[in-house]
Amino acid sequence: MKFEEKKRMGKGEVAGMLKGLGEMMERDELRISGRDLAVPDDAEVEVEYKEGHGKARLEIEVKWRIQEGAGRTAAGEGGKADGVSIGEVKGSIRGSFKAIRAALESGELPPEEALRDFMAQNRVFRDLARGREYEEDMEGYMELVERLRGAVEDRELEGAKALVEEIREAKKSCHRTYRWKEG
């Protein structure tokens, strides 16, 4: 996958864009030009500055390896994104959600890894939903998932427990409304 976007911005817009990219990466999400990308655990960063002929150029290049099963998207044909099927993604979501619920039910915040996996797999699932009849409902579900992430990050145990129940109900409702067969 490759894309490029150029546009003229004021210095405040440039600063906001760079700040926004940093904030997204801190939340283990990266969305550029409407595309969700894998977030690296570590990366090679190259900063280059040049002046000449009355112009200046600052380039910031970030390179990383894409790991198998990462939250990289771009949904493909037949209900698969990067060769991962809806069923496989749902299985991963189910496993991490179970770990999150178990921790909350025992009065603890969920393990960071379970929450990170849950977020990443739900982003993949959201991308698989694009163009399908349940796409709009998926966006509402993703709002709940984001709120759960926020509650856990804010260490709001009771809020996180309530959101887990809302997510369970949203999943049940979706499954009742949209019974699909994997292609």
Please state, as a whole number, how many other Cβ atoms lie within 10 Å of the Cβ of residue 122.
25
- Checking if the pLDDT of 59 tops 80, the result is yes
User: What pLDDT band is residue 182 in, cutting at 50, 70 and 90?
Assistant: very low
User: What pLDDT band is residue 28 in, cutting at 50, 70 and 90?
Assistant: confident
Higher per-residue pLDDT: 101 or 182: 101
Q: What is the pLDDT of residues 35-50, one digit of tens each?
A: 777 777 788 899 999 9
* pLDDT value for 31: 77
Q: What is the pLDDT of residues 102-113, one digit of tens each?
A: 999 999 999 888
Distances in whole angstroms, Cα of residue 143 to Cα of each of 29, 61, 89, 111, 122: 14, 31, 18, 21, 11
Alpha-carbon distance of 166 to 141, in angstroms, equals 9
Please state, as a whole number, how many other Cβ atoms lie within 10 Å of the Cβ of residue 115.
23
Q: What is the pLDDT of residues 118-176, one digit of tens each?
A: 998 888 888 777 776 777 778 888 899 999 999 999 999 999 999 999 999 888 877 77
Q: What is the pLDDT of residues 67-104, one digit of tens each?
A: 544 444 333 334 444 556 677 778 788 888 999 999 99
Chain region(s) in the chain for CATH 1.20.120: 77-177
Whats the size of the chain, residue-wise? 183
Does the structural domain 77-177 have CATH classification 3.30.9?
A: no
What is the DSSP track for 43-86?
-EEEEEEEEETTEEEEEEEEE-PPPTT-S-----GGGEETTEEH
